[in-house]
A and B are shown apart, each in its own frame.
Chain A
Amino acid sequence: MTAHNQKPPRISSWIFRFLLGRKRSFFLDGDFIEIYNEIYSQEGKVQALKWYWAQLFVTIPPLIIRSIYWSMTMFGNYLKIASRIMIKSKGYSLINIVGLSVGMTCSILILLWVLDEVSFDKFHENADNLYIVGTHTKYGDREVTLPSTPTALGPALKNEYLEITEYARFANGFQQYVFSNGNLRFNEYVRCADASVLEMFSFPLLKGDAATALSAPHSVVMTERTARKYFGDSDPLGMVLRLNGQYDFTVTGILRDTPPNSSLRFDILIPLAFLEEDWDTNLNYWDNFAWETYILLGENSDREKVNQKIAGRINQEYAENNWEVFLYPYTKYHLFYLGAGGSIGTIIIFTSIALLVLGIACMNFMNLATARSCSRAKEIGLRKVVGASKHDIMKQFYSESFLLTLISLILTIVLTTVLLPEFNELTRKQLTFDFYRDPVLVLGLAGMTILTGMLSGSYPALFMSSFKILRILKGQFGFGLKGSDFRKKLVILQFCASIALIIVTVVYFRQLEFMHNKDLGFNKERLLYFRANGTIRQQFDTVKLKMLEDPNISGVTGLSSPMTTVYDSDANYDWNNKEPDIRPSVRRLCTDVDFTRVFGIDMAEGEFFSEELTNGPSNVNGQVVINEEFARIIGNDSPVGDRLTSGHNYNIIGIIKDFNFMPLYNRIGPIALYHQTEDDAHGVNRFRFMFIKIGSGGSRETIAFIEDVYHQFNPELPFEYRFLEDDFSVLYGNFERMGAIIKYFAAIAVIISCLGLFGLGFYVAERRTKEIGIRKVFGSSIPNIVFLLSREFIKYVVIANVIAWPVSWIISKAFLQNFAYRIDIGSGVFILTGLTSILIAFLTVCYQTIKAARANPIDALRYE
């Protein structure tokens, strides 16, 4: 008996429906069912199913090919229509394309920036096993986490823990030395590191042997560019350079230029051992937390376990220590610092900005597209009558938006290429836009285009496809409550984002200005300083007296550090009634009696070093001055006269007012000042720098005079000097760059929003021409009408402000948390931005509304 009512599994119907559409798949279903039934009745269910699955499997490929071909034809048709429409309304298309392009360009530039930041330090061969050593401590309510480690830590870690296979230390910052080859002399910024650094890290040597290059204490490794300065085209390997006119250094290797996406960058490397020789630095000291230590972990070592083992290593040296040692992955260092901070914050801000700007551009598109629905309504109605499904209409609008997006993409690529050099200037990077080489970039571009196209097209597509046909043809289309509501929200959102951006930008710049002008606690103006090399250091007092002969020089002093940072520190302090678990890392500064005068710092209590004290009975070697912060840590009411011990006993003779000796986003820490006669092993003072305060009558001649005196003592060395205030400007350069970028993006966001408002105003005015005409007939004046039309927009802006204010307040607060010294946000920013935004909105719609208001009412009412 033939069974006629068996149904095979339904999956085939779904697949056919998906590939072919409902109408075409209908018949195919029937064919499948018929054959299925036949086999079922002749050979039973099992055979029937076997046939079913086999046949389904074989049938699908040709159907897929067919449906692709089909879609391409339809798509071609849509594109043709889309391009016709685009050309017909050039203005509107232009606004959209420009808006989208600008949004996409911003996103790409930021994407490039982010990709670069994320790629930092990943080029090292040992990258996965490279770690930087961090230290963490608490005293009182302060927690300090820094990559500053004792000099002895590196070797200890390697020798005592199996998992740690190598270590390399870097002295902090750059040392300044003068290298000379005969008459060629240059002041160079040099980094000092252990010899192992060349093998641990991937800083390849173009010439020379990495294993031995830095083993000899007077060897130097430099980049090709640097070598060329001294040796021209001849082979620099094995040649000798003179350092500071005193030491002979042999060039043992030529470095490849350090890549820009490396946290460690240098042109010249010399061995750490030299610091021991030249500055009497103790390479095996547990109390000096100033250097960076990097270590290499063996394969298959567990970082967690190692961290547990080494955590208390520093504490082993002193019973009362409170330091925790830990390893942090080097590849994450640039992004996350040691766990909190680093450039990840900036990345998040920038990415949010990019998304915001892109979002605004998309919202623009959505608004403009839907606002045009009145003119397109008839076309849509006609299409539906001829048989287009809702689906088809949606596809049409998506293809329109994709076409516009594609054209924007081309413009974006052009814009990006053009703007990239400028952007590189701004960000001090060397970003490249080679999308034919970088697959990630291509992916990013494609993804962004698709996202933008879909996002922008989604609203008009969904909105337009749901029009009711008859209403359209009769001309009774309204916008529908749903329509205008959503669009209102979009405009508000756009302005909201722009306003928030502006407020945050203003706060950012105010903080920047604040940091610039903040009272550092000392006077940084007209302070010229230079490295006290060679003879000058040895005959410091003599040089000083000679300098003072110029009437335009009001003061001279010496310092062991350049005041933008302090090189030396000590954690081994003890005082009366000290609590056992407090061991602050205190910076040390050596100076002379003129320090307070030259820098204009007052004493809070007690006295500073002075001639009387120097010549008096109490040994000035036993005197120390501390700052208010240190006094606070000590906790004593008045520690003047108390003892302070570190190695030797010192007498606290005074408390100096807090001044900033590290970058302003750190809290002022404790510092101890010593008098110059803190000798090193050679009996010479510890001054690295001579600071000269130039009076207000000073001029270029004064500088020439200083240079003369300098050369009297150091005839062979070039005179290289700096002004302290310039150094501070450079320190904040980073923030300024970021600020400039944010400024530009905020401006762009506002422009795009205004573009959107402009286009919207146009269409709304058009829609209300009849209403305007009637109002004019009834006697309404032009200003009245303008006011009426703009009122709606102004309402949007006000609401946008109300939303934006709390959001931007939160963001600003979070941003300011990073600074120890910050501004008050205050209410001025908000009010000012609010008023400005209203003004801008008004001006934007002004043109349209005035034009509409001036139209002749007869024209408006003619057609009914």
Chain B
Amino acid sequence: MKYLTRKDELMLLAVLRLDNNAYLVSLRDLLNKSTRKKWSIGNIFVSLEKLEEFGYIQSTIGEPTAKRGGKAIKFYTVTGDGLNALKVAKSIQDEMWDGLHDVIFNN
């Protein structure tokens, strides 16, 4: 199983967070706020495509809206594989961070 990159992981978590409203623009807003860094649209677009290729997320096509100039919208949801990948990532994270809390925060 491929390890999630940090970017992928953040992306997946963001999709989960946004529940039914996870599409490129909203994801971007969320990520910009949380990571306090400006993400470019292309960056997010490419990541989403990759994640979809891996099978961690799947997309559904929504209604076109006026505010999008008449273009339809692509919503994403995390798949079972995606959840598994997140589980693995978390467990590795926990293992590596275990016991180092004091060292990192109290120095």
Contact of B42 among A26, A30, A38, A63 (CB under 8 A): A63
- List of B residues within 8 angstroms of A35 by Cβ: 25, 28, 41
Asked whether A33 and B68 contact (CB < 8 A) given A58-B42, A59-B41, A62-B42, the answer is yes
A interface, how many residues as a size bin? 20 to 34
Binds A, one of B10-18, B70-78, B80-88: B70-78
User: A4–B41 contact, CB under 8 A?
Assistant: no
Given contacts A4-B66, A58-B40, A62-B40, contact A29 B71 (CB under 8 A): yes
Residue B46 at the chain A interface, CB threshold 8 Å: yes
Residues from chain A with Cβ under 8 Å of B73 in the complex: 27, 30
B67 at the interface (CB under 8 A from A): yes
Beta-carbon contacts under 8 Å, B7-29 to A? 23-25, 28
Cβ distance B51 to chain A, nearest Cβ, rounded Å: 13
- A1-39 contacts to B, CB under 8 A, are 2, 4-5, 7, 24, 26-35, 37-38
B41 touches A30 (CB 8 A): no
* A window 48-94: CB within 8 A of B: 55, 58-63, 65-66
Residue of A whose beta carbon sits closest to that of B45: A28
Q: Is the CB of B42 within 8 A of A60?
A: yes
Write out the residue numbers on chain B whose beta carbons fall within 8 Å of the beta carbon of A7.
69
Q: Which listed residue, A31, A37, A65, touches B41 by the CB 8 Å rule?
A: A31
A488 to nearest B CB, angstroms? 47
Contact of A62 among B23, B24, B46, B67 (CB under 8 A): B46
Q: Please state if A33 and B42 are interface contacts (CB–CB under 8 Å).
A: no
- Chain A residues within an 8 Å CB radius of B41: 28, 31-32, 35, 55, 58-59
| Cross-chain contact A34 with B46 (CB below 8 angstroms) | no
**Contact between B43 and A62, CB atoms less than 8 A apart:** yes
Are A5 and B66 within 8 A (Cβ)?
yes
Which residues of the other chain, A, contact B71 by a CB distance below 8 angstroms?
A: 26-27, 29-30, 33
Complex Cα–Cα for A62 and B51 (A): 15
How distant is the Cα of A795 from the Cα of B24 in the complex, in angstroms? 64
B69 touches A33 (CB 8 A): yes
**What is the CB-to-nearest-CB distance from A152 to chain B, in angstroms, rounded to a whole number?**
77
Q: Which residue of A lies closest to B42 (CB)?
A: A59
Contacts of B43 in A (CB 8 A): 59, 62
A37 to B23, CA, bound (A): 16
The reply to whether A31 and B24 contact each other, CB–CB distance below 8 Å, is yes
Contacts of B25 in A (CB 8 A): 31, 34-35
The residues of B that contact A29 with a CB separation of less than 8 Å are 69, 71
Selected A-B contacts with CB under 8 Å, 10 pairs? A27-B71, A28-B41, A33-B71, A35-B41, A37-B67, A59-B43, A60-B42, A62-B40, A62-B46, A63-B42
A residues with CB within 8 A of B = 2, 4-5, 7, 24, 26-35, 37-38, 55, 58-63, 65-66
Q: List 7 tightest A-B contacts by C-beta distance, closest first.
A: A30-B71, A59-B42, A30-B68, A33-B69, A58-B40, A62-B42, A4-B67
Interface contacts beyond A30-B68, A32-B41, A63-B42: sample of 9 additional A-B pairs, CB < 8 Å, sorted by A: A4-B66, A5-B66, A26-B72, A30-B64, A33-B71, A61-B42, A62-B45, A63-B45, A63-B46
